[in-house]
Chain A
């Protein structure tokens, strides 16, 4: 079975990460911002899997499991706070969050 070279996977991971980061900076809707964060975590996870394949170790995949779990926890808290935010501001626009200035 011909295997995918590590460079290809790493380039894909880098592109995904950059897309996520760009989306996070450009998007103003908080749900999309959380989705972009998720893309960034998954890009990092993909890089781990590719690295694990390079060294023929299971560690990369174990780490990917951990990243998935932690990202799920992170987004769970984020979505809960998002509900509270919507409750107060009646919008999901991040620019509405400007109650504090200084």
Chain B
């Protein structure tokens, strides 16, 4: 069954919603467990499915890249659900009001996941567009989930308007593509397009690139990210920063490789300019942030710039490098967010200064957060370094040495602001009355696994090799 993982996710969403009707308030935490089991089943179904093929008359295709994206997305959603459970079940020291409706929360989260998984497998303008919206619209509700918090509602509303703007750009670009080619199949559009270069074509390119850039937080289309990240409930911020980024990359794969694959080589200069501005601006603005969620938003923007290096060339190694770095980024970023969520659950604080003296009250958590931050900055031998190394080598082999130099400078700048957090944890003294902050088993185990992932992914290269081997022939069929 090619579509089994997606169907399991949708089925779990519906089951959670229905079962919730029969649960009392005391047993309602079970919905979280059912969600996790459903995601495990979907993960197992995806892992055991080694077949590639097409369904629904070629509108739904599972290939090597779609398979890897499915795995990454399910992983991100699985960890997010674990991170959400404490908050939703009320197992926090600081009461967070307005975060009720557990079953609906999980249901909506699972629907976004289903949309994301369908998006990378879709091969038709209609399924492509509908799955994009399925991945986006429920996210508005998740961002605004804290009904009593004005900032959460504000984040949700800003997200609605700006994401709808980018969606309308995308759908207008799609209309132009369809008008030019008369095809709704993405591969067919990509094949026919070279015969139709003209003003309408360039208009469509501009629309789709702006839309894709907005989904992937590429500067100058990143402006929604900071407010939405800061206002959303923290587990949703974590989900946005990894899953939404992952689906943004999937969207770029579909648009840049599949539709505009023929121009990607000539467009490398444009991609390199986007990459340069994205990483530079993200890094520069992150330096002056005080709120840790906003800080992580700009860190995520700058990371998007590193991803763009993989589109230069373009070649097979770029695809593998981007997928591998996405895996590393998901694990590392969730590692940082586990700490942020834990700290917020127990103390209710989210300013960078609030982390002072954490190494003395909670040395192990401080260590894990430090290692995750170092991995984001790209310190060897952590996984972030290895992932960045592969991306930089893509840019270098494409001849963009100035961009590699700029990216290296940016990594150093990013080290500076990641060190700001580490300085608070390790050098600043704790408050006089600071005591050890307790941690729930769920979060401790999750953080330990993510920490292990951050370290192991950098040392053991087998995963990169298997991604590379899987996707080695993927691009050749698209670029011709």
**What residues of chain A have their CB less than 8 Å away from a CB belonging to chain B?**
6, 10, 13, 17, 20-21, 24, 30, 33-34, 37, 40-41, 43-45, 47-48, 50-52, 54-55, 57, 59-60, 62-63, 66-67, 70, 73-74, 77-78, 80-82, 84-85, 87-89, 97, 99-100, 102
Contacts and interface: CB of A to CB of B under 8 A. Distances in A.
12 contacts: A13-B172, A20-B168, A44-B174, A55-B182, A63-B125, A70-B133, A81-B140, A81-B156, A81-B157, A88-B150, A99-B150, A102-B291
Interface in B206-259: 226-227, 230-231
Nearest to A69: B130
B222 to A, nearest CB: 13
Interface string B117-140: 000000001100110010001001
Contact of B178 (A37, A60, A84, A97): A60
Nearest to A60: B178
Interface string B163-192: 011011001101110110010100000000
A97 B184 contact: no
Nearest to B127: A66
A66 B175 contact: no
Contact of B165 (A24, A70, A81): A24
A94 B129 CA distance: 28
Contact of A100 (B140, B151, B285): B151
Given A51-B179, A81-B157, A81-B160, A59 B184 contact: yes
Given A51-B178, A59-B184, A100 B172 contact: no
Contacts of A63: 125-126, 129, 174-175, 178, 184
A48 B167 contact: no
B168 A40 contact: yes
Q: Which of B155, B182, B231 has the most CB of A within 10 A?
A: B182
B129 A77 contact: no
B123 to A, nearest CB: 14
B470 interface: no
Contacts of A80: 141
A25 to B, nearest CB: 10
A18 B429 CA distance: 56
Contacts of A20: 168
Nearest to B163: A74
B137 A74 contact: yes
What are the 6 A-B residue pairs with the smallest beta carbon separation, nearest first?
A51-B179, A47-B175, A55-B182, A40-B168, A44-B172, A88-B150
B168 A100 contact: no
A47 B230 contact: no
A73 B182 contact: no
B182 A54 contact: yes
Interface residues of B, number: 43
B226 A77 contact: no
B183 to A, nearest CB: 9
Interface of B: 125-126, 129-130, 133, 137, 140-141, 144, 147, 150-151, 153-158, 160-161, 164-165, 167-168, 171-172, 174-176, 178-179, 182, 184, 226-227, 230-231, 285, 288-291, 294
Contacts of B174: 44, 48, 63
A82 B413 CA distance: 39
Given A67-B171, A97-B154, A37 B179 contact: no
Contact of B168 (A30, A37, A55, A88): A37
Contact of B140 (A10, A24, A50, A78): A78
Nearest to A96: B154
Nearest to B153: A84
A87 B147 CA distance: 10
A57 B182 contact: yes
B140 A77 contact: yes
A84 B179 contact: no
B108 to A, nearest CB: 10
A89 B160 contact: no
A24 B15 CA distance: 39
B157 A48 contact: no
A52 B179 CA distance: 7
Given A40-B168, A81-B140, A70 B129 contact: yes
A41 B141 contact: no
Contacts of A70: 129-130, 133, 137, 167
A9 B147 CA distance: 43
B133 A74 contact: yes
A85 B290 contact: no
Contacts of A77: 137, 140-141, 160
Contact of B157 (A51, A52, A73, A97): A97
A78 B143 CA distance: 12
A51 B150 CA distance: 43
